[in-house]
């Protein structure tokens, strides 16, 4: 009889242990799920671009003589800039007829001073993009450019 009670107690203890582990693992799963849903485990992205609604604006297409002294080299490039679409005053400024020539002149000033060697590497292109962002931002009155894109870039 004592043996039967021991078997019943061990089964009861085993069931209790299974229930306790199930509750613990359910709690861990709920915590992990809510933590992941809060975005704290997800990879970090460029918060500046993530935090705003980005819109693009076409500056124009350019065909430029580069500053190479050893030969005549040309650059054909299309430039787009990105900005926060929530900034209505910047949007209006970009739509003004006077703005596009100012931005084109700024781009020409930067690009004409570059050599084909500076434009041929990814690092060089990224540096030029940063320089263009700074130049555009110095010309705009109602907001800031977030980035510059070259959907087309040909060096000949």
Which pLDDT tens digit goes with each residue over 11-44?
A: 887 888 788 877 787 778 777 666 666 655 545 5
Q: Please tell me the predicted confidence (pLDDT) of residue 58.
A: 94
Q: Please tell me the predicted confidence (pLDDT) of residue 31.
A: 72
Q: Please tell me the predicted confidence (pLDDT) of residue 125.
A: 93
Q: Please tell me the predicted confidence (pLDDT) of residue 18.
A: 84
Question: DSSP for 63-113?
Answer: EEE---SSS--EEEEEEEEEEETT-HHHHHHHHSTTHHHHHHHHHHHHHHT
Q: Please tell me the predicted confidence (pLDDT) of residue 90.
A: 93
Cα 75 from Cα 153, distance rounded (Å): 7
> Integer distance in angstroms from the first to the last C-alpha of the chain?
97
Q: Please tell me the predicted confidence (pLDDT) of residue 1.
A: 56
Q: Which residue has the tokens 């993530």?
A: 50
Is residue 53 very low, low, confident or very high in pLDDT (cuts 50, 70, 90)?
Answer: confident
Residue 139 neighbours by CB under 8 Å, 6+ apart: 102, 103, 106
Q: Please tell me the predicted confidence (pLDDT) of residue 139.
A: 95
Residues making up the chain, counted from first to last: 156
Cα 78 from Cα 110, distance rounded (Å): 14
**pLDDT (tens digit per residue) in 84-139:** 989 999 999 999 999 999 999 999 999 999 999 998 899 999 999 999 999 999 99
Cα 96 from Cα 130, distance rounded (Å): 24
For residue 2, pLDDT over 60 is answered with no
CB 84 within 8 A of CB 51: no
CA angle 35, 36, 41 (to 5 degrees): 105
């Amino acid at each position: 009889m004592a043996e039967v009670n021991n078997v019943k107690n061990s089964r009861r203890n085993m069931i209790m242990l299974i229930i306790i582990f199930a509750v613990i693992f359910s709690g861990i799963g709920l915590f992990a799920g809510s933590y992941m849903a809060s975005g704290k485990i997800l990879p970090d992205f460029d918060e500046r671009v993530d935090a705003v609604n980005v819109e693009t604006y076409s500056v124009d297409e350019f065909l430029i003589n580069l500053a190479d002294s050893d030969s005549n080299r040309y650059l054909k490039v299309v430039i787009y800039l990105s900005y926060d679409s929530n900034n209505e005053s910047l949007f209006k400024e970009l739509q003004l007829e006077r703005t596009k020539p100012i931005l084109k002149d700024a781009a020409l000033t930067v690009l004409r001073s570059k050599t084909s060697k500076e434009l041929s590497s990814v690092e060089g292109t990224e540096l030029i993009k940063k320089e263009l962002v700074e130049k555009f931002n110095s010309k705009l009155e109602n907001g800031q450019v977030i980035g510059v894109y070259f959907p087309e870039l040909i060096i000949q």
